[in-house]
Amino acid sequence: MSNVATLTINGQTIELPIIEGVEGDRGIDIRQLRQKTGFITYDPGYGNTGSCKSAITYMDGEKGILRYRGIPIEALADQSSFVETAYLVINGELPTREQLNRTSVQLNDHSLVHEDMQIFYQNFPRASHPMGILSAMVNALRSFYPELITSDSDFEEVYVRLISKIRTMAAISYKISRGHKVEYPRADYTYCANFLNMMFNTPVKPYILRKELVRALNVFWILHADHEQNCSTAVVRSVGSARTNIYASLSAGISALWGELHGGANQAVIQMLSDIHEKGIKVKDVIKRAKSKTDPFRLMGFGHRVYKTYDPRAKIMKHNCHEVLDRLNYQDPLLDIALELEQIATSDPYFLDHYLYPNVDFYSGIMLRAMGIPTSMFTVMFAIGRLPGWIAQWRENTLDPEQRLTRPRQVYTGLTERPYIPIDERGNGPD
Ligand code: ACO
Quick one: DSSP state of residue 26? E
Question: Taking a C-beta distance cutoff of 8 angstroms, is the pair 136, 251 a contact?
Answer: yes
Strand residue runs (E) in 21-136: 26-28, 57-60, 65-68, 71-72
Examine the domain organization and report whether 135 and 226 are in the same domain: yes
409 C-alpha to ligand 1 centroid (Å): 25
Pocket test for ligand 1, best of 288, 298, 386 (most atoms within 8 A of CB): 298
H-helix or E-strand containing 169? Answer: helix 152-178
In the residue annotation, 262 being an active-site residue is answered as: no
Q: Residues of 12-33 as b/e, b for ≥16 C-beta within 10 angstroms?
A: eebebeeeeeeeeeebeebeeb
301 C-alpha to ligand 1 centroid (Å): 9
387 C-alpha to ligand 1 centroid (Å): 24
281 C-alpha to ligand 1 centroid (Å): 22
Question: Taking a C-beta distance cutoff of 8 angstroms, is the pair 11, 34 a contact?
Answer: no
pLDDT at 127: 86
Strand residue runs (E) in 101-201: none
Which residue lies with its CA nearest to atom 14 of ligand 1? 354
Which residue lies with its CA nearest to atom 30 of ligand 1? 305
Q: Going by C-beta distance under 8 Å and a sequence separation of 6 or more, which residues neighbour residue 42?
A: 411
The verdict on residue 321 lying in a domain is yes
Pocket test for ligand 1, best of 73, 266, 302 (most atoms within 8 A of CB): 302
Examine the domain organization and report whether 224 and 133 are in the same domain: yes
Q: In whole angstroms, give the CA distance from residue 424 to residue 335.
A: 65
Which residue lies with its CA nearest to atom 25 of ligand 1? 305
The verdict on residue 403 lying in a domain is no
Q: In whole angstroms, give the CA distance from residue 328 to residue 88.
A: 31
The verdict on residue 405 lying in a domain is no
In the residue annotation, 304 being an active-site residue is answered as: yes
Residue 224 phi/psi, 5-degree rounding, is: -100, 0
Q: What is the pTM of this model?
A: 0.96
Residues with beta carbon inside 6 Å of ligand 1? 45, 230, 261-263, 265, 290, 298-305, 354, 356, 359-361
Catalytic residue (choose from 224, 304, 336, 400):
304
- CA nearest neighbour of 396 among 105, 164, 89, 138: 89
298 C-alpha to ligand 1 centroid (Å): 7
Give Dmax over CA atoms of the chain in angstroms: 79
Instruction: Kindly report the length of the chain.
Output: 431
Indicate which CATH number applies to the domain containing 121.
Answer: 1.10.580.10
Examine the domain organization and report whether 295 and 205 are in the same domain: no
pLDDT digit string (tens) for the chain, length 431 residues: 789 999 999 999 999 999 999 999 999 999 999 999 999 999 999 999 999 999 999 999 999 999 999 999 999 999 999 999 999 999 999 999 999 999 999 999 999 999 988 889 888 998 899 999 999 999 999 999 999 899 999 999 999 999 999 999 999 989 988 889 999 999 999 999 999 999 999 999 999 999 999 999 999 999 999 999 999 999 999 999 999 999 999 999 999 999 999 999 999 999 999 999 999 999 999 999 999 999 999 999 999 999 999 999 999 999 999 999 999 999 999 999 999 999 999 999 999 999 999 999 999 999 999 999 999 999 999 999 999 999 999 999 999 999 999 999 999 999 999 999 999 999 887 76
Residue 362 phi/psi, 5-degree rounding, is: -65, -45
Examine the domain organization and report whether 84 and 118 are in the same domain: yes
The verdict on residue 55 lying in a domain is yes
Examine the domain organization and report whether 274 and 237 are in the same domain: no
Which residue lies with its CA nearest to atom 42 of ligand 1? 261
Indicate which CATH number applies to the domain containing 355.
Answer: 1.10.230.10
Q: In whole angstroms, give the CA distance from residue 385 to residue 390.
A: 10
pLDDT at 6: 97
The domain total for the chain is 3
Examine the domain organization and report whether 206 and 83 are in the same domain: yes
pLDDT at 118: 84
Q: In whole angstroms, give the CA distance from residue 431 to residue 425.
A: 17
Question: Taking a C-beta distance cutoff of 8 angstroms, is the pair 383, 263 a contact?
Answer: yes
**Parallel, antiparallel or unpaired: strands 65-68 and 57-60:** antiparallel
Q: Which of 338, 370, 402 lies at the terminal end of a domain, its last residue?
A: 370
Question: Taking a C-beta distance cutoff of 8 angstroms, is the pair 326, 366 a contact?
Answer: no
Strands ordered across the beta sheet of 57-60: 57-60, 65-68, 71-72
Q: In whole angstroms, give the CA distance from residue 4 to residue 28.
A: 8
Q: Which of 350, 370, 390 lies at the terminal end of a domain, its last residue?
A: 370
Indicate which CATH number applies to the domain containing 52.
Answer: 2.20.28.60
Examine the domain organization and report whether 12 and 132 are in the same domain: no
Examine the domain organization and report whether 88 and 180 are in the same domain: yes
Q: Which of 200, 233, 259 lies at the terminal end of a domain, its last residue?
A: 259
Q: SS3 for 109?
A: helix
Question: Taking a C-beta distance cutoff of 8 angstroms, is the pair 383, 132 a contact?
Answer: no
Which residue lies with its CA nearest to atom 37 of ligand 1? 303
Strand residue runs (E) in 285-382: none
Q: Could you report the per-residue pLDDT of 112-124, keeping only the tens digit for each? A: 999 988 889 888 9
Examine the domain organization and report whether 279 and 182 are in the same domain: no
15 C-alpha to ligand 1 centroid (Å): 35
The verdict on residue 376 lying in a domain is no
The verdict on residue 215 lying in a domain is yes
Range of the domain at 40: 4-60
The verdict on residue 425 lying in a domain is no
- CA nearest neighbour of 32 among 44, 15, 49, 47: 15
Examine the domain organization and report whether 89 and 34 are in the same domain: no
Which residue lies with its CA nearest to atom 49 of ligand 1? 262
pLDDT at 296: 94
The verdict on residue 414 lying in a domain is no
Which residue lies with its CA nearest to atom 32 of ligand 1? 304
Pocket test for ligand 1, best of 306, 350, 351, 356 (most atoms within 8 A of CB): 356
Q: Please state the atom number of ligand 1 nearest to the C-alpha of residue 302.
A: 7
- CA nearest neighbour of 222 among 407, 88, 60, 25: 88
Angle between helix 82-91 and helix 152-178 axes, rounded to 10 deg: 140
- CA nearest neighbour of 391 among 264, 195, 254: 254
Examine the domain organization and report whether 175 and 280 are in the same domain: no
Pocket test for ligand 1, best of 59, 261, 307, 360 (most atoms within 8 A of CB): 261
Examine the domain organization and report whether 168 and 231 are in the same domain: yes
Half-sphere exposure of 93 (CA within 13 A, CB side): 5
